[in-house]
């Protein structure tokens, strides 16, 4: 198989042997971000489609996720880093009840590489933990990730909780994850999040440009 297809296949099949060598070869002609966006994520999308249609069982999805994580870890040192540190602090978490963290961790990498301090709380984080960390670290923003449809409801509850506690004006919120849509965040959630700032990030790069905007 050609290199690109081979890499995509490794994600789909959860096959790690030879992964690093293929990634190194790919780095010869493209940058790390392009390899992730154009090739690896397309493999993950196929995994999601196969799982969604019942053609792939969960343990195999997990294997694919492990290979994806290993690939990102291998590519990370090759990513461009900006010199400017200390642009601001964001507390980042996958919301309560949700274990998906590949996207969140990509956001962490992209923001960290671009001068932000990221306090990454991990997965299944209740709003209390997120708000405690935001206060403790004097965060400039809160980022929540979630891939399950039920996580979109949790995010809504989290915003309601922030409103109720009078914290909406304090922390701008960035939301991302495959189950969200732009209109859900920018129409429905914004409507209820009166006085606060809530943004939708389609991918890690939109997350970065939103952080840049929030900080100006
Ligand atoms: Co799960 N899973 N999974 N899964 N899984 C989905 C999300 C699903 C769509 C698959 C499907 O059915 N087609 C489906 C959800 C359906 C729904 O809610 N309606 C699903 C399901 C059902 C489940 C379980 C319930 C399965 C089960 O147990 N029966 C279970 C859930 C457990 C739980 O959370 N409580 C489960 C478990 C798992 C694994 C553990 C096996 C594994 C996760 C491993 C891990 O993350 N460590 C897994 C995986 C890998 C997937 C799919 C296949 C791939 C997700 C992924 O990593 N994508 C996924 C299918 C899909 O998404 N289409 C699926 C790559 C990643 C880079 O994308 O996270 O979207 P994503 O991030 C993007 C953007 O969304 C954005 O930036 C990234 C790109 O730059 N982004 C942000 C994300 N967060 C952001 C935050 C920001 C900004 C941007 O700012 C704060």
Q: What is the mean pLDDT of residues 46-55?
A: 97
Is 101 annotated in a binding site? The answer is yes
Q: Could you tell me which residue, 173 or 169, shows the higher pLDDT?
A: 173
pLDDT of residue 81: 85
Nearest to 102 by CA among 83, 84, 131, 75: 75
Indicate which residue's Cα is closest to atom 7 of ligand 1: 147
Average pLDDT of every residue of the chain: 96
Assess whether 132 carries a catalytic annotation. no
pLDDT tens-digit map of 96-126: 999 999 999 999 999 999 999 999 999 999 9
Q: Report pLDDT for 86.
A: 85
Token reading at 13: 């099949």
Please list, in sequence order, all residues whose beta carbon lies within 8 angstroms of the beta carbon of residue 119, skipping any fewer than 6 positions away: 89, 90, 91, 92, 133, 137, 139
Q: Which residue's CA is the nearest one to ligand 1's atom 45?
A: 100
Which residue is catalytic, options 22, 98, 108, 140? 98
Ligand 1 centroid–CA 215 distance in Å is 29
H/E element, 117? strand 116-120
Q: What is the dihedral of CA 24, 82, 146, 200, to 10 degrees?
A: -130
Give the C-alpha separation, 149 to 94, whole Å: 13
**Above 90 in pLDDT, residue 80?**
no
What pLDDT, on a 0 to 100 scale, did the predictor assign at position 83? Answer: 72
Ligand 1 neighbour 130 (Cβ under 6 A)? no
d(CA 19, CA 6): 9
Read out DSSP for 131-181? HHHHHHTT-SEEEEE--SHHHHHHHHHHHHHHHHTT-TTT--EEEE-TT--
The closest of 72, 67, 70 to 15, measured between CA atoms, is 67
Is residue 137 within 8 Å of 87, Cβ to Cβ? no
pTM of the model: 0.96
Q: Each residue of 140-164: pLDDT tens digit? A: 999 999 999 999 999 999 999 999 9
Which residue is associated with the tokens 């602090």?
89
């Amino acid at each position: 198989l050609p290199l690109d297809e081979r890499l995509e296949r490794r994600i789909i099949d959860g096959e790690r042997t030879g992964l690093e060598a293929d990634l190194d070869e790919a780095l010869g002609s493209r940058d790390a971000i392009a390899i992730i966006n154009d090739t690896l994520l397309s493999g993950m999308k196929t995994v999601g489609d196969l799982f969604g249609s019942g053609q792939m069982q969960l343990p195999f999805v997990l294997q694919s996720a492990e290979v994806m994580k290993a690939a990102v870890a291998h590519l990370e040192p090759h990513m461009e880093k900006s010199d400017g540190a200390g642009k601001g602090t964001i507390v980042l978490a996958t919301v309560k009840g949700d274990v998906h963290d590949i996207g969140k961790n990509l956001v962490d990498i992209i923001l960290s590489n671009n001068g932000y301090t990221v306090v990454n709380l991990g997965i299944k984080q209740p709003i209390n933990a997120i708000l405690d960390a935001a206060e403790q670290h004097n965060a400039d923003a809160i980022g929540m990730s979630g891939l399950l449809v039920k996580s979109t409801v949790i995010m809504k509850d989290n915003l309601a909780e922030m409103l109720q506690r009078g914290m909406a004006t304090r922390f701008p919120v960035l939301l991302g994850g495959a189950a969200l849509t732009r209109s859900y965040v920018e129409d429905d959630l914004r409507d209820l999040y009166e006085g606060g700032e809530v943004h939708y990030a389609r991918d890690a790069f939109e997350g970065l440009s939103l952080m840049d905007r929030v900080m100006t």
